[in-house]
Amino acid sequence: MIRYRFIQVNRACYGVRRCCRAVDVSPASFYDWHRRGPSTRQLADQRLLERIRRIHRDSGGAYGAPRIHAELQIACGVRVGRKRVARLMRAAGLVGCHRRRHHPRGLTRRHPAAAPAPDLVKRHFTAARPDRVWHADYTELPTDQGKLYLVAIVDGCSRLAVGHAIGEHPTAELASPRWSLGCGAAACSTVMG
């Protein structure tokens, strides 16, 4: 069928016989296909595509193939395969809304000339008493005006937040405990990323 469509598209420029020779098809079979018209499957696909377009339009362009398939089966009572719906949508150029996949790049970028900070907690992140070990973690918050970065400071013993800060850049100063409640922890473990 693809060969016949190729001949149909190019016959004005190159002629039927030349196109048939190029794709190894006899001219009689091409003319037979041309007279035959659309098959019952193609007609059913056209009717189904009209329903798919209507559901897609009614959803505001949000529904993709899985939701349109469910809508066809549940609301319309049409028994159809999900792959057939996806194929027809792909051929018609219909695409639903989808969330962008978030690929975290990590917020920590160590300056090449900076010396690594000492490990004051020796990889022991729990504490026997409150205010002995604090942990800091960045979270990126997308807003309409741009990105903001939230740093939460958590106590290593109680696991409660002892402070937080919000800034426009994920800097080390944002995570430092100097701005906190005034009670100083013996060690602060900063976990960024």
**Can you give the residue ranges of every domain in the chain?**
1-37, 38-97, 105-193
- In this prediction, residue 161 carries a pLDDT of 85
What pLDDT score does 93 carry? 92
The span from the CA of 42 to the CA of 36, in Å, is: 12
Task: Write out the chain's pLDDT in tens, 193 residues.
Answer: 688 888 888 888 889 899 899 899 899 988 888 888 788 898 999 999 999 999 999 999 999 999 999 999 998 888 999 999 999 999 999 998 877 666 666 656 677 888 887 887 788 777 888 888 888 888 888 888 888 888 888 888 888 888 888 888 887 788 775 554 444 444 444 443 3
Contacts of 192 (CB under 8 A, 6+ apart): 106, 107, 108, 136, 137, 138, 170, 175
Q: Give the pLDDT of residue 182.
A: 44
